């Protein structure tokens, strides 16, 4: 069996993604309290005690707020970039592994490639995971898709991809002007159309799963995301929309044999 993945929740109120291979499991980001994390993991048949490590993408609180408390309670090692570590004082951590120069590393039988993305954080990294002939790309929280991002995420067997907002809804929505500029800017979040353009450029025919994620509850609707991604929804084997409250249930990526 290849990689398996699931989500504790996805969106600006908290994120957490489980990536598992065999009996090892990583948690990528944790934007929930310990209690919430335990409850959400239990829903997926897991406890934080089952985790091998926590990986962090960047310091925004919807990704980081629960990381240090969880790591301390369960004695979990943390992988993050030096910029993310220095961006916030998160107190003592049981064990820190610094990701230097976005070099690939192996943890829990999974090869992890950190990929630098344009986002308004100190040193943001999104990740591509490979194990047992299957690959999964996790790509949220970026304002622009760069050629660097495209080259790393092309060819993944499964993808969790941000489609954060509809530009028109964002423009007419409740956010103050400065936040609208931030979210819609080059270091903010991907719109539905940017997500669709990325898939068109890198190809999506090989995807077993496409999970549309980090969808704004204020500046987007499922209907708008669906219509922007209509072509992909038709041809990808399994397309789902991650939600803030329930994330999504376990998905398995079948090995293609590298
Ligand atoms: Zn976020
Ligand atoms: Zn962010």
SS3 (DSSP) at 26: strand
First to last CA, the chain: 14
pLDDT, residue 2, reads 87
Q: Which ligand is nearest to the CA of 142?
A: 2
The CA distance from 160 to 220, in Å, is 17
Compare 190 and 1 and report the one with higher pLDDT: 190
The CA distance from 141 to 161, in Å, is 9
Q: Looking at residues 209-236, what average pLDDT do you find?
A: 97
* Residue closest to 219 by CA, chosen among 257, 258, 184, 256: 184
Q: Is the pLDDT of residue 188 over 60?
A: yes
pLDDT, residue 256, reads 79
* Residue closest to 39 by CA, chosen among 252, 200, 250, 245: 245
Q: Which ligand is nearest to the CA of 120?
A: 2
Distance 180 CA to ligand 2 centre (A): 14
Q: Looking at residues 3-27, what average pLDDT do you find?
A: 97
Compare 118 and 109 and report the one with higher pLDDT: 118
Residues making up the chain, counted from first to last: 258
Adjacent-strand bridge partners of 251: 5
Distance 231 CA to ligand 2 centre (A): 27
Distance 88 CA to ligand 2 centre (A): 14
pLDDT, residue 208, reads 97
Spatial contact of 101 and 59, defined as CB atoms under 8 Å apart:
no
Q: Looking at residues 210-235, what average pLDDT do you find?
A: 97
Q: Which ligand is nearest to the CA of 183?
A: 2
Q: Looking at residues 29-55, what average pLDDT do you find?
A: 98
Distance 119 CA to ligand 2 centre (A): 7
Q: Is the pLDDT of residue 7 over 90?
A: yes
CA 146 to chain centre: 17
pLDDT, residue 257, reads 57
* Residue closest to 123 by CA, chosen among 185, 174, 176, 60: 60
* Residue closest to 127 by CA, chosen among 114, 108, 142: 114
Q: pLDDT grade, residue 248 (50/70/90)?
A: very high
Q: Is the pLDDT of residue 88 over 90?
A: yes
Residues 125-171 pLDDT 10s: 999 999 999 999 999 999 999 999 999 999 999 999 999 999 999 99
- Ion ligand 2: residues, CB < 5 A: 60, 141
Q: pLDDT grade, residue 1 (50/70/90)?
A: confident
**How is residue 167 written in tokens?**
């530009």
Q: Is the pLDDT of residue 258 over 60?
A: no
- Tokens 């760069």, residue located: 146
The continuous run of DSSP H or E covering 14 comes out as none
């Amino acid at each position: 069996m290849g990689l398996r993945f699931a989500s504790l929740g996805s969106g600006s109120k908290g994120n957490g993604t489980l990536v598992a291979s065999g009996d090892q499991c990583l948690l990528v980001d944790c934007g929930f309290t310990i209690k919430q994390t335990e409850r959400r993991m239990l829903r997926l048949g897991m406890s934080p005690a089952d985790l091998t490590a926590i990986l962090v993408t960047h310091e925004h609180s919807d990704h980081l707020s629960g990381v240090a408390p969880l790591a301390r309670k369960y004695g979990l090692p943390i992988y993050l970039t030096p910029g993310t570590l220095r961006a916030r004082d998160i107190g003592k951590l049981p064990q820190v592994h610094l990701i230097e120069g976005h070099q690939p590393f192996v943890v829990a039988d999974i090869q992890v490639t950190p990929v630098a993305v344009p986002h308004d954080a100190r040193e943001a990294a999104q990740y591509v995971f490979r194990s047992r002939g299957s690959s999964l790309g996790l790509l949220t929280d970026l304002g622009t898709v760069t050629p660097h991002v495209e080259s790393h995420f092309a060819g993944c067997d499964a993808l969790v991809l941000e489609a954060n907002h509809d530009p028109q809804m964002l423009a007419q929505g409740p956010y103050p002007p400065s936040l609208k500029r931030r979210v819609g800017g080059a270091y903010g979040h991907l719109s539905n159309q940017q997500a669709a353009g990325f898939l068109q450029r890198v190809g999506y025919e090989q995807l077993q799963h496409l999970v549309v994620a980090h969808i704004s509850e204020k500046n987007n609707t499922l209907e708008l995301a669906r219509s922007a991604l209509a072509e992909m929804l038709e041809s990808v084997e399994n397309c789902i929309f991650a939600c803030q409250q329930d994330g999504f249930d376990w998905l398995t990526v079948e090995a293609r044999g590298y």
